[in-house]
């Protein structure tokens, strides 16, 4: 097992100490508690498991590695079930149910499934925009919740713009997981829903505080939720957060390099479909700008290796985690094996590392192609 990151950047603007007041409008203990109260009341709610990977921790000479297994979240297959559906519920509550509501969003799969599910539960209509390369399996999984699915030309970022344009033309409400100029309230609700997962993980750790978290980034909403909740809980000594992205879509890493949110171009092609984003979420960015210690980018091959590692049981547990769900794990292995990165992040035998296995086999065909034939160890 030899993992090498494509790129590694230490964040010069990273802050130590207490959670900044300026970020409280985006994440606060009160907002996260409200999201938790709402979501834990939904039918079928159960915390997802936090699973130890002792064999991998030993191999990497780290104290402990725990991964939140989001494959079973509300039967939707990913942590995204917490965000979009919560935001739909907030929109409905605010609107008071007076008129029939249509919500729409762009998605590379998982967020659209969450919005469609939330809308179906609450009696709203959902129109979900997917870009060119979103697999048919992902499109069908969204349509199963009664949504209209519309395929648009271009990338994920193009589909975000198309959803916004069509919403304006038709009087629909955009429930996006990313924030852009003039649009931030709903993505904030989405991220506060994600933070509920981190609050669960802290409960499951029973007082042990993670020293590190390696979290995958698409537009940065997940990584911002993890960063903020761990920072709020840390009472002035936050863990080291590393954000991990595909090398073809590393918009957060490039934003950290530029010192401001920047867009990366190209076709953004990667097997890590949920991370194929070229534009950071504008409200996630300040949290990561100040809260992330490092940014890494990885090739697709390492995501495949990490999926097989979890499927085989060689890490110390058998887990079914999909392409986007393993990027944090792949990034951790890179950093732990590289002496300079290891030292820069303070990784060592006392480290307690939190990972988010953010999806299961949400595209079962792709999963089987990558993991097929892997021998499971006892």
Ligand X SMILES: Cc1ncc(COP(=O)(O)O)c(C=O)c1O
What is the Cα–Cα distance from 68 to 246, expressed in whole angstroms?
Answer: 20
Given the complex with ligand X, which of 216 and 351 has the nearer CB atom?
216
Q: How far is the CB of 282 from ligand X (least distance, A)?
A: 13
Among 336, 270, 279, smallest CA distance to 298 is for 270
Distance, CA of 118 to CA of 82 (rounded, Å): 10
CB of 48 to ligand X, least distance (A): 13
Catalytic, 260? Answer no
Stretch that binds ligand X, among 28-36, 132-140, 218-226, 229-237 (CB under 6 A): 218-226
Q: What does the DSSP 8-state code read for residue 374?
A: P
User: What is the rounded distance in angstroms from the CA atom of residue 334 to the CA atom of residue 342?
Assistant: 9
- Given 69, 80, 157, 363, the catalytic residue: 80
Of 210 and 328, nearer to ligand X (C-beta) is 328
Residue 311: other Cβ atoms inside 10 A: 22
Pick from 26, 110, 152, 159 the residue near ligand X by CB under 6 A: 110
| 203 catalytically annotated | no
Q: Which residues pair with 246 in a beta bridge?
A: 298
Give me the residues paired with residue 107 across strands: 130
CA distance 189 to 192: 5
- Regarding 176 and contact with ligand X (CB under 6 A), the answer is no
Work out whether 193 is an interface residue with ligand X (CB under 6 A): no
The answer to whether 358 contacts ligand X (rule: CB under 6 A) is: yes
User: Which of 49, 84, 210, 218: binder of ligand X (CB under 6 A)?
Assistant: 218
Q: Is 359 in the site for ligand X (CB under 6 A)?
A: yes
What's CA 123's distance to the chain center, in Å?
A: 27
Least distance to ligand X, CB of residue 228, Å: 13
* Token digits of residue 229: 């909740």
Interacting positions 274-293 with ligand X (CB under 6 A): 274-275, 277
Smaller CB distance to ligand X: residue 193 or 316?
193
Closer CB to ligand X, 36 or 80, in the complex = 80
Q: How many residues bind ligand X (CB under 6 A)?
A: 21
- Given 68, 69, 108, 189, the catalytic residue: 108
Q: How does DSSP classify residue 78?
A: B
Q: Are strands 294-298 and 173-174 parallel, antiparallel or unpaired?
A: unpaired
Give the span between the Cα atoms of 374 and 199, in whole angstroms: 33
> Which one of residues 325, 326, 330, 363 is an interface residue with ligand X (CB under 6 A)?
325
Region of 12-20, 28-36, 166-174, 272-280 interacting with ligand X (CB under 6 A): 272-280
**Do 117 and 123 contact (CB within 8 A), yes or no?**
no
Q: Which of residues 305-324 bind ligand X (CB under 6 A)?
A: 324
Nearer to ligand X, 101 or 175 (CB): 175
* 59: exposed, middle or buried (Cβ count in 10 Å: 0-12, 13-18, 19+): middle
| Cross-sheet strand order for the sheet of 125-131 | 148-152, 125-131, 102-107, 173-174
Q: Is 177 in the site for ligand X (CB under 6 A)?
A: yes
- C-alpha to C-alpha distance for 111 and 81, rounded to whole angstroms: 7
Based on CB atoms, which residue is closest to ligand X, 101 or 367? 367
Q: Which residues bind ligand X (CB under 6 A)?
A: 78, 80, 108, 110-111, 177, 216-223, 274-275, 277, 324-325, 358-359
Catalytic residues: 80, 108
């Amino acid at each position: 097992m030899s993992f090498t990151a494509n790129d590694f950047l230490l964040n010069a603007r990273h802050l130590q100490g207490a959670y900044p007041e300026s970020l409280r409008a985006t994440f606060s203990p009160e907002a996260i508690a409200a999201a938790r109260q709402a979501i834990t009341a939904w039918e079928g709610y159960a915390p997802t498991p936090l699973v130890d990977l002792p064999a991998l921790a030993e191999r990497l000479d780290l104290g402990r590695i725990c991964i939140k297994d989001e494959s079973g979240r509300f039967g939707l297959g990913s942590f995204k079930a917490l965000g979009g559906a919560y935001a739909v519920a907030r929109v409905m509550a605010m609107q008071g149910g007076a008129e029939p509501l249509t919500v729409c969003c762009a998605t590379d799969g998982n967020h659209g499934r969450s919005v469609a599910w939330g809308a179906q539960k609450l009696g709203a209509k959902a129109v979900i925009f997917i870009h060119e390369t979103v697999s048919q399996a992902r499109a069908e999984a969204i349509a199963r919740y009664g949504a209209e699915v519309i395929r648009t030309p271009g990338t994920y970022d193009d589909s975000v713009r198309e959803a916004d344009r069509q919403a304006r033309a038709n009087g629909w409400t955009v429930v996006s997981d990313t924030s852009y100029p003039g649009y931030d309230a709903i993505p904030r609700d989405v991220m506060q829903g994600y933070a509920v997962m981190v609050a669960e993980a802290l409960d499951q750790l029973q007082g042990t505080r993670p020293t590190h978290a390696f979290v995958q980034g698409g537009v940065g909403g997940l990584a911002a939720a993890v960063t903020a909740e761990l920072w709020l809980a840390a009472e002035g000594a936050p863990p080291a957060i590393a954000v991990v992205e595909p090398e073809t879509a590393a918009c957060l890493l490039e934003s950290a390099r530029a010192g401001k949110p920047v867009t990366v171009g190209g076709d953004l092609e990667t097997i890590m479909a949920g991370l194929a984003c070229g534009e950071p979420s504008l409200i996630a960015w300040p949290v990561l700008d100040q809260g992330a210690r490092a940014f890494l980018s990885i090739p697709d091959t390492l995501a495949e290796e990490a999926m097989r590692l979890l499927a085989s049981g060689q890490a110390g547990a058998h887990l079914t985690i999909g392409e986007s769900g393993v990027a944090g794990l792949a990034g951790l292995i890179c950093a732990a094996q590289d002496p300079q990165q290891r030292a820069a992040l303070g990784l060592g035998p006392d480290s307690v590392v939190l990972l988010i296995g953010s999806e299961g086999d949400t595209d079962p065909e792709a999963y089987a192609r990558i993991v097929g034939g892997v021998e499971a160890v006892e």
